[in-house]
Amino acid sequence: MSKREKVVKGAIGELRFISELCDFCGCCVAVCPVDCIELEESRLTLDMNSCIYCGNCPKACPVGALVGDAA
């Protein structure tokens, strides 16, 4: 993690998961700084109690299955 790209808590206000679009590729898991996403074969689970709404996973999702709404 470089100095220029800090994890910002609450950078987004809401996180929506549109499960129909998800391809279970794991991009979101790779960029989650608090490890709150679990990916099994065809199941993605978000632990919203741990989520810090940093906005990394909507950036990384190749298919728009994770959407961050404005803070």
Please, what is the minimum distance in Å from the beta carbon of residue 71 to other proteins?
17
Burial label, 20 (beta-carbon count in 10 A; 0-12, 13-18, 19+): exposed
Q: How far from chain centre, in Å, is Cα 66? A: 6
Within 10 A of 53 (CB to CB), how many other CB atoms are there?
Answer: 18
Is residue 22 helix, strand or coil?
coil
Nearer to other proteins, 10 or 33 (CB): 33
Binding pattern for the stretch 20-59 against other proteins, x by CB under 8 A and - elsewhere: ---x-xxx-xxxxx-x--xxxx--------------x--x
Nearer to other proteins, 2 or 49 (CB): 2
Residue ranges that bind other proteins, judged by CB under 8 A: 1-2, 5, 23, 25-27, 29-33, 35, 38-41, 56, 59-64
